Amino acid sequence: MRRVGVALLGTGLLTGVLIAMKSQTPAPPAGRPPADGGTGSPLPAAASRMPEVGVVDLTRMTDGPHLGAVFPNRYGPVQVRITVRGGRLVDVEAVQLPAAAARGIEIGRRATPVLRQQALQRQSADLDAVSGATYTSDGYRRSLQSAIDAARAGRPAA
């Protein structure tokens, strides 16, 4: 087992001090395999086969249009629809944007093309917020992630 200790220096800087200690757990009884499945890894065998966090298998997305959830904010709702072809994101369309006030409309018109371009380039919902359009950017990103999740689950647009 590994233990991690953290020490604070007098200057207020945080310094990580790694202390690796072998576990003092007894060996398994004769005839029984080790708890880690015999891999020697501190993780269970199934966990060691899992993909890395942040790795997206785009080929698992079902082709066609997929609708994201509606995410309201103080300026109005935001919703996107994506189109997937060949397992890739080929289009992102804003279905709903804030329209209750002139300011919300202006923000949506300015932010939407920037967010769409980021989504298509990055092939994900990992988008940078557009300056001055924080609420719209957040709703767009969340709706986009919802649509990508729908594409992975094979749920077409309604």
Q: What is the CA radius of gyration of the chain?
A: 23
What does the alpha-carbon distance between residue 158 and residue 149 come to, in Å, rounded to a whole number?
A: 14
Its pTM stands at 0.62
**Contact indicator for 21, 2 with CB cutoff of 8 Å:** yes
Tens digit of pLDDT for each residue in 48-102? 444 444 445 555 899 999 999 999 998 899 999 999 999 999 999 999 999 888 8
Confidence (pLDDT) at 101:
82
Average pLDDT value for the chain: 75
In which region does residue 31 sit, left (phi positive, over 0), alpha (psi from -120 to 50) or beta (all else)?
left
